Every structure is written in structure tokens, then in C-alpha cells.
Structure 1
Amino acid sequence: MLGLLAGSLWLRTGDLPAWLQGGAPDLVARALDERAPRVAAAILAGAALGLAGTVVQGTVRNPLAEPGLLGITAGAGLGAVAVVTSVAGGGRGLLIAAALTAGLATFGVVALLAWRGGLLPDRFVLVGIGCGYALSALSTFLLLRADPWQTPRIFTWLSGTTYGRTFPDVAWVAAALVLAAPLLWALSRHLDLVAVDEDTPRILGMRLERTRLGLLALAAALAAVSVVAVGVVGFVGLIAPHLARALVGARHGRIIPVAMLLGGLLVCVADLLGRSLIAPSQLPAGLMIALVGAPYFVWLLRRSRG
């Protein structure tokens, strides 16, 4: 509700039913036509990142893991940068297609490089981190040699933003959540076993490598479509599962819905603050989340060392 009403122009709750019925004044209608897709994108992308982070942390058994370790965000960013810097007049549709394709292709490469008689969590994380740094360096190189007039929009997108989003942009994330969320919730007991150790799932008859690869592939798809909706947003996939685990315990059947709700709330609040604090200017949601996520990550490191 606050996401719809707050901004450079503050609205009233009575404006919402008038807008839904098509009877709102032009200024109010334009404001809500812009804000509604942004709020939907923030909530759905945050839910997708929270769900993907839950799966990644459970699958690789690392509480400091998040979807960025899969190389998805760096790969998607490289795909978008390549379009902006090399394709003249490339529209948003081409940028989205390139980001989605490059993100999923990056996960495939990471999984292939990490596979050596199986997919061990530690090796997968290390390969993902290495590939992520390499792809980020390529993105920086392309931006440095590009036309400076073409780079502002890609810098904004890489910082994570809901600016200019439309409902067709949100449809990708909504479809992914409708398909993946029930499936992952049904597999929550498998995820509980995978999170224990390497031996327990095999003793109980689970095909561990196939299960782990399938779970990580679903997390990769969710992370990729979230990049399409809100750009490159970090820390949500790290913070939301931790908060959910603190609230409801370690069983993934409980963590999954709570992490999705918390992830959507985090991105929505970050978007609201970014639009309202210095209105009419705006701060990207990704930067707002980083202001909270970076200190939280340092606190986690300190706590885990203790």
C-alpha cells in the first residue's frame, strides 16, 4: 500500500479504487500506472531471490551462500552490457533476452567446470565465485571501451532498479514462481536431507547428484528471471533465508514461504525508500539493499567465526 501511495506525489487510499475503476484524475492515474508495475516487480523479484537463496544455502550447505555465487547475476549483467555496447539501437526486449540467456548459460558452464565425478558443494561455490569475478571484469572492460552516452542506462540496471518497469516485465517472474515455488515446496524434504551431509541422502536412497543439480538449476532460473525484473540486486538471497530460519526453524517446508515473503518485503521497502527519501530524485533499490546487506554480511562473518 505504501509503495503505491508514496513518492514525489503522495496519494490517498481513495485514489486506488478510483484508479482501478478508470475514474482517477490524469495525474493520479499516471502515478499509479508507473508505481503498480514497480511494486509488483519488487515483490515478485524479491520473492524469487528469497526462494533461490534458500535453495542455494541448503544445497551447498553454506549459510553465507546466495544466488550470486552461481554466477547468474554476473552472467546476466555481461549479457546486458554486451547488448548495450555492441548492438546499435538494441531495445529492452533484446536486453532482457540477452541477460536471461547469458545468466542460464553461465550456470551451465559453472556446473560443467565444477563436475568431477559429482557436484561437490565447496568446488561448486569456488568455481562460481571465480567465474563471477571473470564475467564482472569482462563487463567492466566492455563499459570502459563503450560510447559514454550509451552507458548510463546499463549502470542503472546493474545497480538494481525497478524504474520504467511494465507488467510484461513482471510476467516472467510471476510465471517462474507459479511453476517453481510449488515444486520446490514439494521437494522440501529432499532439500532437508541434502542440507545434512553427503552420506545421509545416499543411505536413504536419494540420487544425490541428480537432486542437487536439479535444485540448483531451479535456483538459477529464479535468479535469472529476477534479474530481468529488477536488474542486479544482491544480498536479498542471503538475508531472507537467514531471517526465515531464525523465525521458523531449519525445516525447508517452513523456510520457503517465509523467505519468499521476506524477500518480497525487502525489495519492496528498498524500492519505496529509494523513490521517497530524496524525491523527485531516486536511488536504485539495489543500492538501498546494499546499505543494509553489507553490514549484515559482515555481522554474519563475525558470528560464524565465533
Structure 2
Amino acid sequence: GRAGPIVSYVLDTRVPRVLAALLAGAGVVAAVVFGLAARGGFRQDRLVLIGIGASAATTALIGLLIALTDPFNATKALTWLSGSTYGRTMPDVVPVVVALALGLVVVGLRHRALDLVSLDEDTPRLLGLRLPATRLLFLVTSVVLTATAVAAVGTIGFVGLVAPHAARALVGRRHARVVPVAVLLGAVLVCLADLLGRTVIAPAQIGAGLLTAVIGTPYFVWLLARSRT
């Protein structure tokens, strides 16, 4: 009989290799970032600064690899870095669905802890929450989700910044409501960017990642301006 989507995914060797490479790379960078941030209890300011440094280092490494490769591979790499859904099939979707389901389970079981972690440094400790371990759980979950998404469609930025803020504006700050709304808003943003990228200059295409930056940057600037008032 016909092989189902899961069997087809197992038989498709390209997707597992790409996913394994992305997870390995994300794991190495995450281990470095988390290892350096652990001494401060995974405090947000320290984590962000270390993350910026790691991002600069990995961006330089990617640029070096692109410069050293042949032009054909460089073009494919630049397409992937711009974020694109071109040529994606069911084998590319399966790992994203699995990772998303696991992430939603983690958040669903620990949404109250996530509410406390987002408050401040002292309240979770006063209520008996193990703050470093809880933060590490959520950080590892986010690394797995991000690596899986990047393996599927490349780098699509600003979705993780715009969707959660928009969700909080719509349903408040409780993560039991914020997370599912943010997932839906993120999906809508990516689909809208993909639709515009395929139609605005057809038959040529613009990467979805470039369009999400164009759509998300004005909104994010507006959020920053509003937070200062």
C-alpha cells in the first residue's frame, strides 16, 4: 500500500539530516549561552547580553561559510537565511507539528510557573518556585521549537517578538491564554508574509522572513515608543 506521511518522513533522508544538524547546532550554542548565564541564575539581562554575543559570533561564522562555498550553494544558503516556504512538503511539516505539540504540553502543564517567571526575580522565590530550573525548562523548550522551525523554513525573524506582544494586548498576560493566541497570530503573520512574497513581484518571490521583518518592524517600533510613555 501507500506509505503514510510518517513513513514517508522516515524514508526521506534529507529532512532528518537537516533537522539533526540544526538541533545539534542549536544545542551547542544553547549550551554555551546557558552555561555562561547559569552563574547568574538565568537572569534576563545577562541572558540577553550573552545571547547577543553568541548571535554575533554565529552570524560571522555563517558569513565565513557562505564566502568560502561555491556560488550555487551560496545562493541556496542566502535563500534559506531569508526564510522561505518554497518547496516545503509534508516531511518538513511533521517535525514542526511534533515539536509544537510538545511545547504546548510543557506550557499547558506549567503555565502558572510561566506567569510567575514573567513577573520579577523575587515573587517566584517567595512562592517556593525553583527559578533557575524553571527558566532552564522554558529555555530548552524554546530552543527545540526554534531549531525545528528554522530547519523547516529557514530564518523568519520578528514573529517571536510581534506575536506574543500582540497576544498580550488582546487577551491579557496570563500565559494559558497568551500562548495559544500567540501561536495563531504567528501562523497568520507567516502565512500573510508568504502570500505577499509570492504575489507582490510574481513570478519572482520574496522570502517570507524578509516580509515578516517589513511587517513586524513598524509594529515593534510602535511598541517601544508606547512603552516609554
| Same-fold status (TM-score > 0.5) | yes
Which amino acid in the other structure matches residue 228 of structure 2?
R
The match for 1:127 among 22, 27, 50 is 50
Displacement of 1:299 in angstroms is: 2.1
| Displacement of 1:204 | 0.9
Query: What is the aligned length?
Result: 217
Matched residue, 1:274: 197
User: What secondary structure is seen at the aligned counterpart in 1 of 2:39?
Assistant: coil
Question: Matched residues in 2 for 1:219 and 1:284: separation?
Answer: 23
The answer to whether residue 125 in structure 2 is matched with residue 202 in structure 1 is: yes
Which of residues 206, 210, 221 is equivalent to 1:298?
221
RMSD of aligned Cα (Å): 1.6
Q: Which runs of 5+ in 2 are unaligned?
A: 1-12
Q: Partner amino acid for 2:195?
A: L
Unaligned runs of 5+ in 1: 1-89
Q: CA deviation at 1:94?
A: 3.4
Which amino acid in the other structure matches residue 29 of structure 2?
A: T
Q: Distance in 2 between matches of 1:119 and 1:92?
A: 33
**Which residue of the partner structure matches residue 95 of structure 1?**
18
TM-score by length of 1: 0.68
Once the two structures are TM-superposed, the CA of residue 149 in structure 1 deviates from its matched residue by 2.4
SS in 2 for 1:250: coil
Whether the 8 Å CA contact 2:15–2:91 is kept in 1: the answer is: no
> Aligned letter for 2:227?
S
In the other structure, the counterpart of 1:156 is 79
How far apart in 1 are the matches of 2:61 and 2:98?
31
**C-alpha contact 2:40 2:46 (8 A) present in aligned 1:** no
User: 1:109 is matched with which residue?
Assistant: 32
1:119-140 superposed Cα distances (whole Å, 9 cap, x missing partner): 2111011000111011101111
Structure 1, 175-184 or 251-260: larger mean CA deviation: 175-184
Q: Output the CA distance in 2 between the equivalents of 1:195 and 1:219.
A: 15
The residue identity in structure 2 corresponding to 1:245 is R
Aligned to 2:176: 253
| 2:68 paired residue number | 145
Higher helix share: 2
Letter in 2 for 1:259: A
> TM-score, with normalisation over the residues of structure 2?
0.90
> What amino acid is aligned across from residue 206 of structure 1 in structure 2?
L
- Residue 295 of structure 1: how far off its partner (Å): 1.9
1:229 and 1:146 mapped to 2: Cα distance? 22
Deviation per CA, 1:259-298, whole angstroms, max 9, x where unpaired? 0110111101111111122222111111111111122222
Q: Determine what percentage of the aligned residue pairs are the same residue.
A: 53
Give the SS at the match of 1:153: helix
Deviation at 1:91, TM superposition (A): 5.5
Shift of 1:305: 3.0
**Letter of the 1:165 counterpart:** R
Superposition pairs of residues 7-86 of structure 1, within 5 angstroms: none
